[in-house]
Amino acid sequence: MPRIKIGRKSTAIDMTAMCDVAFLLLTFFILTATARQVDPLPVDMPSSTTQAKLPDLDVGTISIGDGKVFMGISGQHVREAWLEKVGANFGQGFSAAEKKEFSLLESFGVPIQNMHEFLAADPKLRAQPGFQPGIPLDTVKNELFFWIIEARRATKEAGNDMRIAIKGDIKQEYPLVKEVIEILQKQKVNNFSLITALEAAPKK
Amino acid sequence: MAELDTSGGGSKKGGKIRSKKQSTRVDLTAMVDLAFLLITFFMLTTTLAKPQAMDLVMPDDSDKEEELKVADDRSMTILLGSKDQVQWYMGKASDPQNLTKDFFGANNIRKAIYDMKEQVKKNYPDDPAKDLLILIKPSDKSTYKNLVDILDEMKVTDVKKYAIVDILPVEIQSLTSSGIY
């Protein structure tokens, strides 16, 4: 009795093309990804149902948490001009190396007179929580005012208006937030963003 | 023979010593697995790490003379107190109506806002421009989270007119007597 023979097929699939595509995509994502630095001021953001994303470019972020205020702007080349402008307000000059070092910082929080030693410090030490005391914003030394206004000028010179975003900590008490908002309003910045984490919208 | 024997060479007969034919194929499964794992990781970290931005427009504080005249029955004031609690009333601070202590959340302050919205709609049936105006007054004991939460409630309840205003001493007293200051 003749038996029907089922042809034996190999179960192995040619993975070469798949592998090519996978690595092509991988390369793309690695190159487009931007390395994120450790935030010197850890901020636990409150959540909201807002869907709008924060833009990547021309944003100045003011972080408020633990009673301290930190600031950072986007764009490395803008940061160099920013430091120079603020330094000029307080009679402080910065070397090219210091400006370069500063331009690599996502955000910082030191008084301007401590800026030289801060930039000379070890990056690991800088990232330690508590090392940076925050930008002073009391009525005597309102440095934050100058940092904000010069950030807006520097971004404007680079071509665009700057959007200010406030990134506050959940537990931060309101008076400090109010002070920051008042500083912004003094400069006629009445329109700004609050950075939040995502939360599901309630069902209607 | 000098040339490399890549073909099977099976047709030839003879007692030639042939090295064992080895497949040139490499199993790429594990490599593809790894590649896709990394792709997933990079995709998620690049797009999902972007934070949300809630836009906030404050009134220009240079024109202080301009005082908004709003009927008492459509202005609602929400005071943010301590312990994540709020207090709200309708009308003027000197003569508060419906003074209530409330919590955040869907069944508390959000319900109150919806109720008041309905009430205003009933009071002004033929003028849709006259809707509820909410004044948000954060006290010094409230936190940034409370502010974001109440602004989020404005978005959820679709209240178009709201403002963040400084708290008055009489309102602090009211919060103190409710035990949330």
Q: Residue type at A65?
A: G
The two tokens of residue B52 are 């949300």
Q: With an 8 Å Cβ cutoff, is B28 touching chain A?
A: yes
* Pair type for strands A68-73 and A59-65: antiparallel
| Residue B137 pLDDT exceeds 80 | yes
Q: What is the pLDDT of residues A90-120, one digit of tens each?
A: 877 788 888 888 888 888 888 887 888 888 8
The mean pLDDT of chain B is: 77
Please provide residue B17's backbone torsions phi and psi, each rounded to the nearest 5 degrees: -85, 120
| Residue A165 pLDDT exceeds 80 | yes
Residues of B in contact with A168 (CB under 8 A): 144, 148
| Residue B117 pLDDT exceeds 50 | yes
- Assigned fold of B72-177: Nucleotidyltransferase; domain 5 (3.30.420)
* Pair type for strands B161-164 and B133-138: parallel
Q: What span, in angstroms and rounded, lies between the C-alpha atoms of B148 and A194?
A: 8
Number of other residues whose CB lies within 10 A of the CB of residue A134: 23
Residue B92 has a pLDDT of 77
Strands (E), chain A: 47-48, 59-65, 68-73, 163-168, 191-198
Cβ pair A173:B32 closer than 8 A: no
Closest in B42, B55, B146 to A33, CB measured: B42
The two tokens of residue A171 are 């537990």
Q: What is the pLDDT of residues B53-87, one digit of tens each?
A: 888 887 776 665 555 666 777 788 888 888 888 88
Residue B66 has a pLDDT of 54
Search chain B and give the residue with CA nearest A199: B52
Residue A37 has a pLDDT of 62
Distance from CA of A20 to the nearest CA of B (A): 9
Q: Dihedral of CA A162/A164/A165/A168: which sign?
A: positive
Cβ pair B52:A195 closer than 8 A: yes
Residue A38 has a pLDDT of 65
* Radius of gyration for the alpha carbons in chain B, expressed in angstroms and rounded: 35
Summarize the confidence of residues A15-22 as an average pLDDT.
Answer: 86
Q: With an 8 Å Cβ cutoff, is B64 touching chain A?
A: no
Number of other residues whose CB lies within 10 A of the CB of residue B133: 18
- DSSP-derived secondary structure for chain B: --S---S--TT--SS---PPP-------HHHHHHHHHHHHHHHHHHHHTPPEEEEEEPPPTT--S------GGGEEEEEE-STTEEEEEES-SSS-EEEEEEESSTTTHHHHHHHHHHHHHHHSTT-TTS--EEEEEE-TT-BHHHHHHHHHHHHHHT--EEEE-PPPHHHHHHHHHTT--
Task: Please report which confidence band the pLDDT of residue B99 belongs to, taking 50, 70 and 90 as the band edges.
Answer: confident
Distance from CA of A86 to the nearest CA of B (A): 26
Q: With an 8 Å Cβ cutoff, is B136 touching chain A?
A: no
Domain borders along chain B are 72-177
**Among B79, B57, B70, B71, residue whose Cα is nearest residue B167:** B79
Is-contact B51 A196, C-beta < 8 A? yes
Q: What span, in angstroms and rounded, lies between the C-alpha atoms of B68 and B71?
A: 10
Cβ pair B59:A190 closer than 8 A: yes
Query: What is the interface size between A and B, counted as CB pairs within 8 Å?
Result: 149
Contacts of A153 (CB under 8 A, 6+ apart): A85
Residue A201 has a pLDDT of 66
CA angle, corner A47, sides to A42 and A48, nearest 5?
145
> Is the pTM above the cut of 0.95?
no
| Residue B12 pLDDT exceeds 60 | no
Per the listing, tokens 């996978």 go with A22
Percent of chain A residues past pLDDT 90, beyond the cut:
0
Q: What is the pLDDT of residues B152-169, one digit of tens each?
A: 888 888 888 888 888 888
Question: CB burial class (10 A; 0-12, 13-18, 19+) of residue A34?
Answer: exposed
Flag whether the ipTM exceeds 0.85: no
Residue B69 has a pLDDT of 67
Is-contact B76 B137, C-beta < 8 A? no
Residue B1 has a pLDDT of 43
